[in-house]
Structures are given as structure tokens and as C-alpha cells.
A and B are shown apart, each in its own frame.
Chain A
């Protein structure tokens, strides 16, 4: 697969060169870089170009690192267009004959773990195809991410842990301690909450984003200052299904350096084989961070966090069948049943469910894609630095 990079100036052209391969046949055409259209239109275009109107296809493309990544929704379609360099190389397969293992780096098709995963990965209504395609590779699901890099001081890190539906323990302990703050009167010792221990094999350890002696500053957007250890414990447990902790890492060497950029800025989560993509990890290559911080933003909006576990209470009716409690229509904060392509910054795990695992391409949220479109001057010309 292609690892060469074209001259960036080509990118300024409005057209994207497309080279599509189906079996032994090639087709070449071009797309408008600025108006790529929707995925289903693109899909029909491919069927038309190859003259295979009734064949179910699996669409893949080669990204800058030479990985074969799927195109199966608007998000990754736009992503593919935006990174075309300038040629977008497509590989079409018949669905029946699809070789799933070709995707990703070691994307073995894993067995479905939970019903939940299937639900989350359900395709949008426009899709003619069964959901299985979209979920390629099926169990991709973020387990952690760094968020709000744009609004936090460089010394702080906001980490989101997705405990949801997972067997693995969160796996960390907190303790009381004292921290030094700079005040108008000089340095002052104030009580603080610190991570005291990591459980080996736990989610927190696996992400590599939290470490012993990191000071906990916030829990789901609420400052912990002046709160007791027990209060903070209760807050964390109450939010454990979707925990967002803002920490001041004990080790400040891996902080994001926003000005100037450079590979050293990266602290990718990729060093753990079990960790999912951190969005930051994805965006860290090169000087990208410096020029387009928006690209990696996934801001935290407390109000959007509301009721994200609402649907999870179980009700057993007389007949004894367990069903998740649906939300009543009168709910104050409604979330569409089909959450795909919601045009707002939604933190629901569904939207991130497709984030690819090893930093290569993003199947990220629409917002990510949108912003990346705005930040056109983005350069992606290096491999991801992993620690």
C-alpha cells in the first residue's frame, strides 16, 4: 500500500483524484474536495462506476500510513476525502467475499462481546445494509480519551474513562494529600486529592493516562477542592459509568505543548494494546496540534452528559423479561433513538464507537470531521509517535 506522500500543494486543488479498484478492474474519477456529498451518494456512485448496481460492497481506502481503512459512513467518508493525498485509493470487495482481516493493522474480526455494542453500532436508517458492515472492526470502542485540550492549562489533563459495559474494573484508588498552590501571598500548601494506587490490569492503568500521585482537580467538570475524600469517592462512583477526571499529572514531562508543537507533545495512549484511541493521540502527529487545535477538541459539555445512563435501568415486568427502561417522550433532554449523525457535539459513546484503535485514521465524530475540514492546512506527514 502506498506510503508515499504527494506534494502538499496538490491539496489546494478543489478536486480529489479517486482510483477505485474492484476485483481486477480500476476506475478513475474525481470528487469535489469541498463538497464531498454524503456516503450513500458516494456508494451509489461507486456501484454506478463499476456497473455493479446490485452488489453489496465493502469500501476501503488506503490512508497515509498505508493502512486499509473502511469507508462506511459520512464521517469516515469525509475523513478519507480530507486526507486524500491527492489520490484517494479505494478498494472494493464483494461483501460476501470480504476479507475483514485486511482492515486495520491487526484487525482480526473479534467476536461480538455485548448486545450493547451491537446496539451502539447500529447503522443509520438510510443504510440498506445490515449493521455488521458499519462496525468494522466490530468491537472498536473507546475506553479512554483526553478531552478539552484547548481550554485547559497545559499542566492539566482531562481524561475520560469509558467504563460502560465492560468487565474490566476501573481500577484505581484515591487518597488525601497536600498540594502546593501559588497564591498572592506566595506558595501555599492546600489539601488535595491524589491517585494513590492503580490496580494492575484495570482500565485506569490500561489507558496510561492516569498515574499514581496525579492530583485530581475535577470530577465530571466539578471541582473537588474543599471536598472531602469520601465526597470525591462518592462523586466518582456516581459517575463511574462515564467518568471524566481532570488531573494534574505528577509527571509533567508528557504534557501537551501547544505552542510550537513537535512530536514530543504526544502522549499517546497507543502503548497499551488494550487501550482505545485517545483523540489526542490521533491528532498528535507533527505540528498539527499547533496549527489546528480545533481538530482534536472534544469539549466537555456537562449538560450533554445528562441522562446518558438513563436508558440503562432495567425493568422486569410480570412476564419476567428484562428490558432496558425507555425514556419517556416528555424527557427534558431527548436523545434520538438513532444517534448517528447527530449534528451537535455529543459525547455519547455511540458516536465514538467507531474510533479506530491505533491512531491511523479517524472514524471519529462528525464534529471532528467538520473541524478538520475547516482546518485545511493540516499536515499529516509523519508516523504517530508512541511512547
Chain B
């Protein structure tokens, strides 16, 4: 009977878990890693990017995004939308073609792969015959022309990929229909380009690698014209009136050919090498677009003088007398031009350029052609990301102030709206304002609006101005001198070069209520900043914190301290530094926490930790945690150069070895093959003889970096006796030690004069000596203590001070709850001993039920070194759920993970992309968007489009239903917030541990 009842409880708990937790990877923020192809549909107003890893990403209006991944792990080399349809075709470098479509499902569109195809040549033909080099999606919407390396053009019916063999344009057919001197004399080489006549869709221009171009009539199956270019062909453009063809060539020239008239051979009207005289590089793509009145726009990529500017990545835009060479900081992948007008045939409005590290959009209709700020695809990595920090539910006041500070920085951007408008964003408005802060190698902190699907840049803070660095900031400004040729103009913000690595930001902590921000960097610098709406000139005084405290035998071999500017510095509106602490030795700051109510900042390095009073601008406490026998920490920053060198050498050896054996394989001799196999076996055996070994030894206090401070935490709790709660500071180290200090704060009226004092109260040495990664105090109800000022702003229930508090110490190996004020072990959850994984990241989150709005629980969100996510309940420290999330080999991904207070999180999947995930069943931010079949459907496809159109109607009605539901939900959420604010709820809001961010 008892057993039966317990079973019932368990299943009920399982049900609650399902209502609280659910794992989803929701959206990728940032810029795709290694883009390799670009496509654009003017009718859908969608942009498509293919990557080298086989991903395909579609972007429309802000918030409209889709992602797909090819099963093959091959690079996407071309992307083509079928004109006036929702299908697109991708070509991979394994020569396979893939058909994708946007299909509506439950009112939102999904990107689906619906077909794949590989050209098969005649039996016995070499593979080059079918190796696709050029793709033309014919405007009829049901034909695909595939030009190949062998010079043939295959015609395929889509979307089903049916080969129309009788319509193929073989090399023989072409050579037969052009004069002997072009066809027979030389091989035409591969098909470089396929273009459709803009005014006659039955005519197609085929450009061959050697230069010859042929205009082919699809109906008569014959060549009606040929263009006898002689230079290696790079790209072809058929002007809009159909009268001219532009060709660009590998010698940096482009030619204009007249194709109107009946003459079977076109004559060259013009040939030009724009950056002439000296040898130039190829012009890889050419576009010419007319304007209503006046001269056309001409766009050329490349063509720079080989010797002097051959390494530049340029697109030249020529319009009338204006000629600008846009100079990008990374390789150009592709570009296209967006045009005005309902049929997308009007004035060119924006140039969209995909370069390897960012997407740049140039406003062509505003004087000076300014850049339009992108609402997505932001280059997060314009300087390498060194840390990140997430703040949930930003008060509106702070939000607006940050926004306005950011607006002042973005005056050089175009004011035009984002030109890509495809699709409808159906995602509900984000329930709250969330801020993601990223620290960068160049000493900047970037503020991103992370509330919704689009990660939007809000504000950029630079800390470099406080310090004297080697570089002169004016260096970059004196460029673009008068009369320079080519007329370069730098565009794009990707700049991976840091002037001084010591400026790198390592830890960030923002108080969302007071607007105080503290950032800490690589050279032991800790800045405290305040949000100021006006520009101000001030001198930042540095306070040195000697963390060694007279420790003997120390020799710091690392970098020197940053030099502080002694003259006053003018800081623009925004966050302005007013206090600076510099650690001595200047080791990287490993932990940082701010308490805005007490006006205290605490920081830690591998040598110890300190407490700084930023109101009185003095150090309250400095504590050395260094172990005298720890030589590594004594000598300088972590140096892994040696081991990397060693492993590189080993892997090179391994590669060389395998090459040797591979060469053997090629010998067509069975005996030799066997010999090679035997050798390979022997090599494998040899590798097994000297494998990686791991020593099994308990940690000792003499291990390296045991004194490194991993986490710092402020708590108002019962440290010394159970009747009086006092402010306290907690520090956890790499060696499994916890130090607790009791703080005495003067009353508010003499806070400016009387000193803050700190007294050591407790030290705990964990027996297993695993690094302490998080410390948290739970109140009498078992809820985490609220953040500073949270209660004062009526945003959290005040903590329960009646019941006894408990202390949660999270080490890499286990979660352990102790009683307070007398520290005795209460309960624990072992992690490493059970499954061998270790805690890498931990946060506190509040999980709301997705069924009822009034139920929720606090929990710990945990990421392990195996890349698994766990939720651990509070205060019971029981494992709730576990999901695999990141590959365990992806060390940087795991290290970059940051949790939000509502069960979401971010981690880097590449240097430039954040993956957003959700562990909460209620709080999920994911793209929901709908793309409809364009209304302007050509008659040929109308019958097929009709049923689809009907479903659009249905979708509209469901969308209304969705909207109503959203409305209801929103009102419910408002109710819930007030519920919380009234303090009647038993739910505690999340509280982030001071771990690592």
C-alpha cells in the first residue's frame, strides 16, 4: 500500500518535471562560421547563406530566420532560389544538389529538404562531365540548367529533379553551331556562367571558361549568337534591357558586348581595365543596374592592381562620377544588390556583401553610401570574445539609458530601415528585456539586446581609454587621403587584432538596478563604472591591491601592470569609469562580484582576493590564498605553449606516418598492399605502446593553482550566531577551500566616512579538494537569497530570516549543503564519483511551469565538462534532468556557456556564433516566422500554387487564433508579475551564482 502511494508521488513528480523542464536548442545568434555561398530571392526578400560545414541559413525581416543542415558534411558552394517560389537549390562540393522548401506547419514556416540529386553522365564518362560549375534557376520556375566542368549544360526539371535529356546542351551541339575558328580551334573548357536574357526567358547565355560566350535558344535548341571574348572568363552579366552583355575576366578587365541585332557574332563595344596599367587581379563578379534617370550603377568585385593592392578585398561601386572601392577586412564570398519597387526592378537601394567574417549592407540611396546596421548576423567576434555575462529582466529606465548611449555611438550608420523584409515574424514579444554583455580581447564590452530571436547590438564600451597603450588611437583615422587611387574606403567592423592583450576583459558584473558595472581584465585591472548620460572628463585614480601580502619566494614572470593615464580623460555618455583597482601581481582576474547596495566590489586572482569599497575608494580587505609550494602560480600566467607545441609535433608525426602508409596503399600490388597493412598494424600497436596515461592520485594541497579564487559571493546571512544576520563575503578556491568574512558596514548616514571592516569568520576545507565553482546561501524557505537591491525595488520577496539559512557549496565534483551558522554537512549530491563528469558552469534559475502560471521552482543549471546540462533542485540538491548539449571535445564551447535566470543559456558554437538553448519548458525564445508564396506567380506554376494559396488563407485564420492566445498569455504573465511583486508568491526568483561570469 505504502509502496503504491509512493509510486503515485513519483509519477506526479515526473509530471511536474515535464511541466518545468524541456531542452531545446532554439536559435543561433551571430555570424555563421565560414560562410561559403550567398543567395537572394527578390520576390521573397530572403537571403540565404551556406557554410562550409553544410549549414544553410535563411534570413528575412528581423526575427525571420530559418536554419537547415545538409546530411552530407560538405561545403555549400552555391545557393539559388527558384524565381517566385519558396524553393531553393543548394550545390555542395560533393557535386550533389539539394532542394529545400519553406513549408508551413502549425502556422509557422519550416525549412525542409525535399529532394536531392546528383547528375549522372553517360556510362564511362569521366567525372568532370557531370561536375557542376554553374547553376541557373530558370525564371519559369521549373527548369534548372546545370553547366559542368566538361562544358555541357544539363537541363533538369524541378522540383522533382527529372533530367530532360533531349534538351541538354552538349558541347558538340555548341561547337557545331559556332564558326569553326572558335569551336574547333580550342577547347572551350568548363561552363563558367549561365545567364538568362532578362527580356526573353527562352534565351540563355552560356559562358565558357576560355572566354567564348554563346546565346542559346531553348526552343530552337540552337545557338543564335556567339561572343568571341578571348580572355579567361570570370563572370557574365546581361543588362536589363537585354541589349548588352558584360563580361569580366581574369586579367582585371571587363568588356561590354552588344547583343541586339541579327548579327550572329556580337561586337565588342568597350573593354576596360579599371585599375589598369600594371597587371591586375581578376574581376570575379560584375553587375550593372540602370537608374531611372542618369547613368547606371556598376559593381565590380576584385580587379585590384596585383602588386600593390592584390591582398585587398574590394568591391568597386561606380555611379556617374562617384567611384568608391569598398575595402573589406576579410575575403569576399559574394554580393548582390537590392532594388526598389514592387517588382524589385526599380532603383538599386542597397548593396549586400557577404564577406568571410561579416555581412555588410551599404545604403546606395543616401549620400556617402553609409552602412546600414544589421539586425542579425552581427559579427560578435569583431574582436575575440573573452567572456560573457547575462542579465535578465532589465528595468526599463536602464534599458533606455543604455539604448540612448548606444544611439550616440551609431551616428555614422544609415538611417534607412533594414532593406530585407521577407517573411512575417510571428514570435510573441519577449516577456522581458534581457541583456547579454560580451567582453572582448581589445578591452571592449558590448551590450546586446538578447530578449528575442535577434541579438541586436545596443552599446559598446571601451576600457582602453583609461590606460596608456602602445598604439596611437589616431592611427586608424588618417586614411583615405585626397586623390588616392584606387579610392579605398574601409567598411565593416571585423578587426581581430588587439593592440594590447592585457586589455582583454575577463569578468563582468552589472547591477541592473543601480546601473553600476564592474569589469576586470587580463592584467589584474578592475574598473568600476557608472552610467552617465552626459560626456564627462575625469581622472581615474588607481588603487593597488597587493595580493601577495608579504608572501616569500615569489617571482612574477608574467606581464606588467597596465599604465594608467594620469591626465583627465573625456568619456562619452554611457558607462564611465570612476574607480580602478590594480592587482599586484597583475594576474588575470578570475572572479568578480559587485554589491551595489553595500557599494563593495570583490575580486580574485590566482594569488588571492580583495574587497574594495568604491564609495570610499579604498581596499577593505586583501587576502593571499597562495600556497608557497605552488610554483606555477608563483611564476606567472598559465603557459600551455610547451604542451601545445609538443602535441602539435606528435600529431605531425602521426600524419607523416599515415602518409607513408597511404602511399603504400596506392601501389597496385597485392603483396605490397599486405606489407603496408602489416606496417599499419604495427604502427597502431606502437601507438598503443605509448598511450596517454593518467595518474590516479587524490588532490593534495601542493597541487598547482590551489589558491586560485574561483568564486566570490556576498550574502546577508547568519554567519556567527543564529539570531543576528550580518553582511558576509564568501570566497571559494581551486583547492577546495571556502573563506567566509563577516563584514561590518557603517550606518548609511556615515557610510562615506566610517570604514567598512571585514573579519575572518570561517574557513572550510573540503575533504575532496575539488575546485569550488559556486557558493550560494539559501534562506529559511530554501530559496536562494535575492540579489542586492532586488528587494528594495520590490522585485523580489524579502528572504526568510526566521528559519535557519543553509550554505550550498558547489565544487567541480559535488553539491554540498551545510547548516549555518554552525557549519555542518546536511546533504549532498555527488557528480564526479557517479559518472565521472565535473561541473564547469553553474547558475541559479527559476523554472516556471508551462501548465499553470502560479507554480515554479528554483534550481541550479549545471554544465559539465562532458557537455551535459543538468538541472539540480533546490534546496534538496537532487538531480532532476540531464540533457547532452555540447560535444565534450568542444572545450571553448563549454567554457563560453552562460546561463540566464529563467533557464536559458548561450554558448559559442564557433568564434562568431552563440547557440541559444532553453532548459525551461515555459521560457523559450525561438524564431517563429511565416513565409508565404509570392503572389506574383508566373502562369506556368499557377496550378501548383493554388492549393498552397488556399492553405495560406487557413493559416491566416490560425494566426489570428495564435495572436489571441498570445494576448491572453501576455495578460496572464502580467498578472503573474504583479503577483510576484506583491510578495505573496512562495516562489523565489533566480539568483546567479558568482561563478565565473
Chain A contacts to B: CB under 8 angstroms:
163, 169-178, 196-197, 219-220, 222, 224, 227-241, 243, 307, 309-318, 325-328, 330-332
- How many Å lie between the Cα of A279 and that of B760 in the bound state? 48
Question: Are A316 and B836 closer than 8 Å at their CB atoms?
Answer: no
Does B477 sit within 8 A of A, measured CB to CB? no
- Residue in A closest to B811 when the chains form the complex, CB atoms: A238
- Indicate whether B837 reaches chain A with its CB closer than 8 angstroms: yes
Q: List 5 A-B contacts (CB under 8 A).
A: A235-B836, A238-B768, A314-B763, A315-B764, A325-B764
Q: Are A313 and B764 in contact (CB under 8 A)?
A: yes
Binds A, one of B417-425, B585-593, B818-826, B854-862: B818-826
Q: Does B696 contact A (CB under 8 A)?
A: yes
Instruction: Please state if A309 and B694 are interface contacts (CB–CB under 8 Å).
Output: no
Q: Given A173-B694, A238-B830, A310-B825, A231 and B763 touching (CB < 8 A)? A: no
Beyond A234-B836, A236-B696, A239-B833, 7 additional contacts (C-beta under 8 Å) are A231-B835, A238-B830, A315-B762, A315-B763, A318-B759, A326-B825, A328-B819
How many residues of B are in contact with the other chain, CB < 8 A?
A: 43
Give the distance in Å from the alpha carbon of A381 to the alpha carbon of B813 in the complex.
49
Candidates A169, A232, A243, A310; contact of B836 at CB < 8 Å: A232
Given contacts A238-B813, A239-B833, A325-B823, contact A172 B766 (CB under 8 A): no
Complex partner residue of B691 from A170, A177, A315, A331, CB under 8 angstroms: A177
Within the complex, which residue of B691, B766, B834 is in contact with A196, where a contact is CB–CB below 8 Å?
Answer: B691
Majority secondary structure, A binding face: mixed
Question: A143: shortest Cβ distance to chain B, in Å?
Answer: 15
CA separation between A137 and B696, bound complex, in Å?
Answer: 31
Is B940 in the interface zone, CB < 8 Å from A?
no
Of B688, B697, B832, the most chain A CB neighbours within 10 A belong to: B697
Contact (Cβ within 8 A) B823 A234: no
B825, closest chain A residue (CB)? A310
A177-B697 Cα distance, complex, nearest whole Å:
20
Known interface pairs A231-B836, A239-B833, A327-B825. Does A173 touch B763 (Cβ–Cβ under 8 Å)? no
What are the 8 tightest A-B residue pairs by CB atom distance, in nearest-first order?
A: A231-B836, A240-B698, A312-B767, A238-B832, A316-B763, A233-B694, A235-B836, A238-B833
Contact between A314 and B764, CB atoms less than 8 A apart: yes
Interface membership of B6, Cβ < 8 A: no
CB of A234 within 8 A of CB of B824, answer no
Taking the closest CB of chain A, its distance from the CB of B446, in whole angstroms, is: 34
| Among A177, A228, A231, A318, contact of B761 (Cβ-Cβ < 8 Å) | A318
Residues A222 and B696 in contact in the complex (CB < 8 Å), given A314-B765, A325-B824, A328-B826: no
> Is B888 in the interface zone, CB < 8 Å from A?
yes
Give every chain B residue within 8 A of A311 (Cβ-Cβ): 825
Q: Do most interface residues of chain B lie in helix, strand or loop, or is the interface mixed? A: mixed
Q: Is the CB of B832 within 8 A of A330?
A: no
Given contacts A222-B835, A231-B835, A234-B832, contact A315 B823 (CB under 8 A): yes
Cα A172 to Cα B695 with chains together (Å): 6
Residue-wise interface mask of B (748-777) relative to A, using a CB-CB cutoff of 8 A (1 in contact, 0 not):
000000000001111111111010000000
Query: Which B690-731 residues have C-beta < 8 A from chain A?
Result: 691-699, 720
Chain B: residues with CB nearer than 8 A to chain A? 688, 691-699, 720, 759-768, 770, 813-814, 818-819, 823-828, 830, 832-838, 865-866, 888
Q: Is there an interface contact between B834 and A229, defined as CB atoms closer than 8 Å?
A: no
Is the beta-carbon distance between A330 and B830 smaller than 8 angstroms? no
Q: Measured between alpha carbons, how far is A163 from B698 in the docked complex, in Å?
A: 9
C-alpha gap A314/B764 in the complex (Å): 6
Contact A240 B696 (CB under 8 A): yes
Please tell me which one of the listed residues A171, A243, A332 contacts residue B827 in the complex, with CB atoms under 8 A apart.
A332
The residues of A that contact B694 with a CB separation of less than 8 Å are 173-175, 229-230, 232-233
Return the chain B residue nearest A227 by Cβ: B836
The answer, among B692, B697, B764, B826, for a CB contact under 8 Å with A330, is B826
How far in angstroms is the closest Cβ of chain B from A245? Answer: 9
Q: Is the CB of A235 within 8 A of B826?
A: no
**Which residues from chain A contact B825 at a C-beta distance below 8 Å?**
307, 310-311, 313, 325-328, 331
Given A220-B833, A231-B836, check contact A175 B693 (CB 8 Å).
yes
Q: Is the CB of A173 within 8 A of B695?
A: yes
Query: Do B833 and A325 touch (CB < 8 A)?
Result: no
CB distance from A27 to the nearest CB of B (A): 50
Taking each of A169, A175, A238, which has the highest tally of chain B beta carbons within 10 Å of its own beta carbon? A238
- Quick one: which of A163, A243, A310 contacts B828, CB cutoff 8 A? A310
- CA gap between A313 and B826 in the complex, in Å: 12
Q: Give Cα A231 to B694, complex, Å.
A: 11
Whether A313 touches B766, Cβ cut-off 8 Å, given contacts A238-B813, A332-B827, is yes
- With a CB–CB cut-off of 8 A, which chain A residues contact B837? 231, 234
Contacts of A229 in B (CB 8 A): 692, 694
Shortest Cβ gap from B688 to chain A (Å): 7
Q: A312-B767, A313-B764 known; A235 and B833 CB under 8 Å?
A: yes
**Is the CB–CB distance between A234 and B691 below 8 Å?**
no
What chain B residues lie within 8 Å of A332 (beta carbons)?
827
| A238-B823 CB under 8 A given contacts A227-B836, A318-B761, A325-B818 | no
List the B side residues contacting A314 at CB < 8 Å: 763-765, 767
Least distance between A322 CB and chain B CB atoms (Å): 8
